Structure 1
């Protein structure tokens, strides 16, 4: 109640208490005789309303912070296996807790455990359960699995998701629950889906210039189209990542701040200075000033929420990111790409190789046209940000 006393609009609280499903759930939780803890909340169905209430209690100090995307997995796991035969359920629980979650906790101790990391962990567990169910369907015991069964599975499930049984197979073999068979590496394809240059610049111009579009979507869209940033990385940006030095504005996407073009700097600063939590409790107890704030107190916008805002602008994340990375890799060496945009150096080198090959193919095509008396030209200069400006990002800010 102390938290509610601090809000700027008491009527908003009254409306929330009288009409919100979250408020009804909070009342139900409060009626429990036991102390309110995370374990208490884990006993309730894990819905969006419960997640919102939990984070509200964390944000106002009623509950301690926890690795939310990691700690949600245990109660989710119990629900997942509850309808399966006990032997299968026990095996999946053991794999989840001693392999998937153990590694996840190790990762969480070193860096932020994101919603994408949580989604991947749940997918690994789901795929293991589907694999064991499939083995039962073909009347094959785990101990009797050989390469033939693995090949059958991969033929029927040739996606990256299907290949995610590799974790379970390695774990089971390490505990001598199965003997034969290996999982080949998933074949890595080259990026194939690209936004063409005209579409990319049209969308970028709209993000930079159209004041009729919500600022959150404009800033996110520009950062995807210009710097190839993922929604996963964007949602963790806070006001502290934006720095002004005289006439220059920098955005820290990784260890090295990036110098922003003037038009992009203008809308980033506007979002930083005008954005605020939309919930009354979030405004009363601000916490971290997220650049992309959500309605949940103390939390940034979800990845799905940010993707919806990009979808509303017609920006498909994967083609837009691929086009941006190809343009950047054409101008910049791998070390600069990795330094500025948080890429692993191997990934950065791969992008530079793609870009060089693409450029070589273009030159060969134009040479053929020239020999055939055909005229053609290609605009390779980026009208908004170029290699010189990005290199300045490395020299303007001291290490």
Structure 2
């Protein structure tokens, strides 16, 4: 690494009575710590253990496992340690082992997990724990739970809790831990899209304000131009930036999308100046937005905070961009180009009364030649 002293300082750093990373390495060398992911998930301090686990994976010493699966398993151990009722611990551990983890691993096999998806699974475990405690406060068990209790829970809790508990309740019904009951319909909130004029003005400011951080400007431009969530932006790699006969393309779906000239200049400048490239495992990082952790992209929350610091609201900006695209092109074309599910773009088109519904069930048309996501003013 370019600055080895920083690595040596990390190895020796300890907080309070916690073991330093060098202590963990020594115990690993003495076989006091098994060279397995399960062993690392129980170590303290957990942040140092997590970083060391990622270093060992990057070096090929530990087998590659999706980082979010490791984070979830590590979090589950800490969460169960806070549950005081033994029967609740047994039920939650069973729910995690036989339902949550298989679904988490199945999703990871299809594509890399995002922080938001991992937190969604964690939320299911949290709400299951709270539901069991709520039943206990009412002197009830799962066996006693009936439709009236389910309705009472949904009345007393916010939408997020109501939606997150569904997986646990369905698992209980399937395993005959409870009687059968009806679950209320899931309600999904819709964000208010950013007005087109505001989106254009923000893009103009991003392109003309050199005093703002380059990394933030590039990420915010991808949000406002291509309607990409931050969880996808952090997964972009250098291979997704394509040079084609003097044109810069960005692979978000198929085919890759052209990058307007001014934004392309920002993007190429950022690639030449990427930060967090000094650690030993990141010198050849392929991430467009690399992070300090071994072979890991930036954390979505960190990048999202940087984008909001520019005055760019992430979700309204993304929804506004998506709505503009489905106004200009058929929803299936937008879905293919920007990496969205066809149902999402079709729903967006229906919300703004777009006239592309004839493509909903027919063959998916290809994106027209020369298509560019450069925003245009409403006429």
| Fold conserved between structures, TM > 0.5 | yes
Q: Relative to 1, partners in 2 of residues 1:9 and 1:167: Cα closer, same or farther, differing over 3 Å?
A: closer
Question: Are 1:8 and 2:20 counterparts?
Answer: no
Task: Pick which of 349-358 and 251-260 moved more.
Answer: 349-358
2:193 paired residue number: 194
2:212 paired residue number: 213
Question: Are 1:125 and 2:119 counterparts?
Answer: no
In structure 1, distance between residues paired with 2:126 and 2:257: 39
Shift of 1:97: 1.0
TM-score by length of 1: 0.82
Shift of 1:394: 6.8
In structure 1, distance between residues paired with 2:369 and 2:161: 41
Q: Do 2:282 and 2:295's aligned partners in 1 also have CA atoms closer than 8 Å?
A: no
In structure 1, distance between residues paired with 2:129 and 2:249: 46
Q: Please show how residues 140-155 of structure 1 align to structure 2 within 5 Å.
A: 140-155=140-155
1:370 paired residue number: none
Task: Pick which of 123-132 and 48-57 moved more.
Answer: 48-57
| Aligned residue among 299, 322, 325 for 1:325 | 322
SS in 2 for 1:168: helix
2:360 paired residue number: none
Residues matched between the structures, number: 354
Q: Do 1:145 and 1:181's aligned partners in 2 also have CA atoms closer than 8 Å?
A: no
* Structure 1 unmatched ranges of 5 or more: 1-6, 359-389
In structure 2, distance between residues paired with 1:197 and 1:349: 19
TM-score by length of 2: 0.86
In structure 1, distance between residues paired with 2:56 and 2:148: 52
2:338 paired residue number: 341
Deviating above 4 A after TM superposition, structure 1's stretches of 4 or more consecutive aligned residues are 14-21
Deviations 1:7-27 (A, max 9, x none): 233444445445576x96311
Q: Please show how residues 1-399 of structure 1 align to structure 2 within 5 Å.
A: 7-17=1-11, 25-32=20-27, 33-34=30-31, 35-45=34-44, 47-82=46-81, 83-189=83-189, 191-275=190-274, 277-284=276-283, 286=284, 288-356=285-353, 391-392=368-369
Q: Do 2:192 and 2:316's aligned partners in 1 also have CA atoms closer than 8 Å?
A: yes
Q: Relative to 1, partners in 2 of residues 1:128 and 1:226: Cα closer, same or farther, differing over 3 Å?
A: same
In structure 1, distance between residues paired with 2:295 and 2:106: 25
SS in 2 for 1:243: strand
In structure 2, distance between residues paired with 1:26 and 1:271: 33
Deviations 1:101-136 (A, max 9, x none): 111112222221222221111111111111111111
Q: Do 1:258 and 1:393's aligned partners in 2 also have CA atoms closer than 8 Å?
A: no
Q: Relative to 1, partners in 2 of residues 1:46 and 1:308: Cα closer, same or farther, differing over 3 Å?
A: farther
Q: Relative to 1, partners in 2 of residues 1:308 and 1:49: Cα closer, same or farther, differing over 3 Å?
A: farther
Shift of 1:309: 1.1
Deviations 1:76-120 (A, max 9, x none): 223212232111110111111101111111222222122222111
Q: Relative to 1, partners in 2 of residues 1:233 and 1:176: Cα closer, same or farther, differing over 3 Å?
A: same
In structure 2, distance between residues paired with 1:290 and 1:163: 33
Shift of 1:73: 2.2
In structure 1, distance between residues paired with 2:45 and 2:207: 39
CA RMSD in angstroms, aligned pairs only: 2.4
In structure 1, distance between residues paired with 2:116 and 2:188: 20
Deviations 1:335-372 (A, max 9, x none): 111111111111111111112269xxxxxxxxxxxxxx
* Structure 2 unmatched ranges of 5 or more: 356-366, 373-379
Larger fraction in helix: 1
SS in 1 for 2:51: helix
Q: Which has the larger radius of gyration?
A: 1
